[in-house]
Amino acid sequence: MAVSKEMGGVHAESHATHGSAAHGHGEPHEPVFVGERRKQLDDLLARYPTKMAALLPALWMVQEDRGWVSEAAMAEVAEVLALTPAYVKGVVTFYTMYHQHPVGKHFIQVCTTSPCNVCGAEDVVNAFLKHTKCGELGVTSEDGRFTVIEVECLGACGFATPVMINSDFIESVTPEKVPDLLSKLT
């Protein structure tokens, strides 16, 4: 979920993306928890005394398989874990790492909290925005390859500026390193 500069704008954003055909609402949902994934989930369930405790892991499985968590996927997870879809959605919207709509192939997350901020993190952000041609935070590039967002402290403050691209964690990024980094992505 893009972290927009506007404090109040995020909800309006999620409303705007609600029900948009661009998010695959028209296509039927292929179940995630079948075959191997179902087995993985069942194994996981053995670790906890409640089904609900497998919710975050189950949502990760969905995102790993599909790239984002759709409402249909939320409904499937709810069914599998004996929860309600509304409940699952409440959890999904709490955690920033679950995407509620598709994002660019390379989801670029730059830490700009103070420890990195004083080390020039904003310059890194601008470098990414320029070289990916995204132009704006949270907006996927025309070719669908990149989305750039600012995130909060990634816990690698001594290796400023850390950047995550999907789940790849890259330390010590400077504006100079950005073009090279991007060139290595497909």
Partner 1 sequence: MGYPHAPHPRETLVLSKYFGDGDAIGLDGWRKRGGYVALEKALGMTPVEIVNVVKDSGLRGRGGAGFPTGLKWSFMKPGDGKPHYLCCNADESEPGTFKDREIMRWTPHALIEGCAIGSYAIGAETCYIYIRGEFTEPLQRMEAAVREARAAGVIGPNAMGTGKRVDVWVHKGAGAYICGEETAMMNSLEGRRGNPRIKPPFPAVAGVFGQPTTINNVETLAAVPHILNNGADWYKRMARPDNPKSTGTKLWSVCGNVARPGNYEVEMGFPFKDFLYDLCGGPPPGRKFKAVIPGGSSVPIMNMEEAEAALMDYEGMVAKGSMLGSAGCIVIDDAQCMVKQIARLARFYAHESCAQCTQCREGTAWSTKIMERIEAGEGTMADLDTLLEIGDNMTGKTICVLSDSCAVPVASGIQKWRDEFEAHIKGKRCPFRAAAAA
Partner 2 sequence: MADVKTINLTIEGRPVAVPEGTSLLEAARTVGVLIPHYCYHPGLPVAGVCRMCLVEVEKAPKLAAACATSVAEGQIVHVHSEQAREARKGVLEMLLINHPLDCPICDQAGECELQDYTFQEGRKDSRYKEPKRFNPVEDFGGDVVYVPNRCILCTRCVRFMDDVAQEPVLNVSERGDRAYIGKFEGKDLTHPWAGNVVELCPVGALLSKDFLNKARAWELDRTASICPNCTQGCNAIIETRDNTVVRMRPRANPEVNEYFLCDAGRLDYRWMNGPNRLELPQARQNGALVDADWDIALGAAAAAIRGKRTLVVASPMLSNEALHLLSRLVRATGGAGAFRVARGPEAPLPGVKDLALRAERAANVAGAEMLGFAKTDTPLAGLQAGDVLVVADHALTDAEVAAAGRASAVVVIGTTLPAGLTNVAAVLPITNFAEEEGTFTNLRGRVQRFLQAKAAPGLARPSWFVLSDLLGSLGETANYFLPADVFAALAASHAEFAGLTYDRIGLRGLPVLGAAQTAGAAQ
Task: Give least dist CB 146 to partner 1, A.
Answer: 19
By CB under 8 A, residue 164 contacts partner 1? yes
Two tokens, residue 44: 């996981």
By CB under 8 A, residue 179 contacts partner 2? no
Q: How far apart are CA 151 and CA 3, in angstroms?
A: 7
By CB under 8 A, residue 160 contacts partner 1? yes
73 touches 66 (CB < 8 A): yes
Task: Give least dist CB 74 to partner 2, A.
Answer: 7
157 binds, among partner 2, partner 1, none (CB under 5 to 8 A by kind): partner 1
At residue 149, the 3 state secondary structure works out as strand
Q: Which range in 15-23, 26-34, 42-50, 123-131 contacts partner 1 by CB under 8 A?
A: 42-50
Task: Give least dist CB 135 to partner 2, A.
Answer: 24
By CB under 8 A, residue 185 contacts partner 2? no
Q: How far apart are CA 114 and CA 64, in angstroms?
A: 30
* Closest to 108 measured CA to CA, from 89, 125, 91: 125
Q: Which range in 3-11, 104-112, 128-136, 165-173 contacts partner 2 by CB under 8 A?
A: 3-11
Q: How far apart are CA 146 and CA 135, in angstroms?
A: 11
By CB under 8 A, residue 152 contacts partner 1? yes
Distances (CA, A) of 175 to 84, 119, 161, 163, 186: 45, 11, 10, 12, 20
184 binds, among partner 2, partner 1, none (CB under 5 to 8 A by kind): none
62 touches 69 (CB < 8 A): yes
Helix or strand run (H / E) with residue 125:
helix 121-132
Q: How far apart are CA 179 and CA 12, in angstroms?
A: 33
Residues that bind partner 2 (CB under 8 A): 7-8, 10-12, 14-15, 18-19, 71, 74-75, 83-87, 89-90, 93-94
Residues that bind partner 1 (CB under 8 A): 3, 7, 47-57, 59-60, 81, 83, 90-91, 94-98, 112-115, 117-119, 151-160, 164, 167-169
